[in-house]
Amino acid sequence: MNWEKEGAGGDFQVYPEGTYKVSINDYEPVTASTGTKQIRWKATIMEPKEYLGKPVTLHTALTDKSLWKIARLVKACGFDLKALGTQETGSPAFYKILDSCKRRTSFWHMAVVMDNKGKDKNEIDDFKTDPDQAADWSEEKIDDEPEFLKS
């Protein structure tokens, strides 16, 4: 018996469908059980007040079909996508952009859907810019090396 595997799950909260203001705390590159490379985003709910401080986790697959989600999230963090040009996923330039999303706020729309076991779960299906946050990143310094690559 794999204790960790069997004991996992069930300890996450399903939030009601709606739009939540979140602050991105961190991200990490991970690999799903299917072998798909992903980014795991860790965020905290800022609004509505009844969920203040509650955690939200978002997985964005690094596949051609799913890159739209990362682009919309980055745009919601205030980036001008046209100005970013093109980077390879997994490159230091790609991760520098993701690093710059940390500590930024945006609005995430959460739907309630069923997982493959028939249980409710949240799916984040849209991202909007926080109008109370400066959107111009041209003046902000971005580190030369992504944080998780530093020794």
Whole-number pLDDT of residue 7: 55
**Full-model pTM:** 0.81
Whole-number pLDDT of residue 11: 57
CA distance 106 to 108: 7
Whole-number pLDDT of residue 147: 58
Whole-number pLDDT of residue 45: 97
CA distance 104 to 132: 11
Whole-number pLDDT of residue 81: 87
Residues of the chain with pLDDT under 50: 138-143, 151
CA distance 40 to 45: 16
- Walk me through the domains of the chain, giving residue ranges and CATH numbers: 14-134 (2.40.50.140)
Question: pLDDT digits over 89-125, tens only?
Answer: 989 989 989 999 999 999 999 999 998 889 999 999 9
Nearest CA-CA partner of 127 in 21, 9, 5, 36? 21
Whole-number pLDDT of residue 142: 46
Q: Where are the beta strands (DSSP E) in 2-151?
A: 18-31, 37-47, 55-61, 105-114, 120-129
